[in-house]
Amino acid sequence: MTTYLLAGGGTAGHVNPLLAVADGLRARDAAADVLVLGTREGLEARLVPLRGYELLTVAKVPFPRRPDRAAAAFPMRFVRAISHVRRLIRERGIDVVVGFGGYAAAPAYLAARAERVPFVVHEANAKPGLANVLGARSAAGVGVAFAGTPLRGAREVGMPLRREIVELDAEALRAEAAAHFGLDAAKRTLLVFGGSLGALRLNTAFGGAWQDVLDAGWQLLHVTGQNSDLPDPGVEGYAVVRYVDRMDLAFALADFVVSRSGAATVSEINALGIPAVYVPYAVGNGEQSLNAAAAVRAGAALLIADADLTPERVRAEIVPLLADDERRDAMRAAAARTGIRTGTENVIALVDEALAR
């Protein structure tokens, strides 16, 4: 029996691919022992036990960004974290470590190396995090979601995705999806969303241009986010929803998407072959623009800067695209060529290679 330790967490971007790989390992071999290493503060503390996996924890030790008291305490705290994971590896008989970035990943990589246990790195973003940059230097295998991600020895494997996305049959679900959102299955649908909390810029732009979308002969499914106070005009063909817990149904209905460009979002849209306009979140290290870059280069998507997305820009650029069947068909074909639905299997193949060595 193989014992796997999957390390990572903090945000959904780290936890969801980790859980997809955990499910893939369990589906392949019910006897495999799949453990997860995370922190008590991250999203994994709730999601991992809910999925039925044992969560082992390590102290959250952020890399210092400035010379202060926390920076002075960092070396000792980090050494203790590594020692803790080394002890877990020995006590639990870990055969291989798979890291997905986040606070738990860096001590896991260094502990695995010290214990001579092979480890594999998966990076979800086109701009890698510090933990994965560190881990890739001595990993047995490195997988990235996007081509061109600057990690040593990287292989493009795609993103491990939720089964409901991987197995989505949009045509078979379209009637159910339309009924779920109170829309017409026979009409083309523009899906706009900005994440669970919403995106003010997207909401403002389409809150001012929804009539233009309808006038173009389309209907609009607008997921505004839980924190939004955008009013619902209550008109036929414009569905305003605060939150969607069945994104598979939203994607099944979508003929075109306007969204943020988080790594999972881009990977899911590409995997489903849906043409898109991405509006990268303007805060951060610019990773959202990089996440969308490959799809834009392939002709599967367009990019509009957050500051530039206005109702006028929607009317000038997005609405004409809705009327251009030939261009959208070309974008759809490009998205289908770019997308990868086998990310989970590809990461597991890297793990198998590491074990075989």
Query: Which residues belong to the annotated binding site for UDP-N-acetyl-alpha-D-glucosamine?
Result: 11-13, 125, 162, 196, 288
Planar angle of CA 270, 273, 274, nearest 5 degrees: 90
Annotated binding site: 11-13, 125, 162, 196, 288
DSSP β-bridge partners for residue 36? 6, 55
Q: Any residues with CB less than 8 A from the CB of 310 and at least 6 apart, and which?
A: 204, 205, 208
What tokens appear for 26 in the block? 């369990």
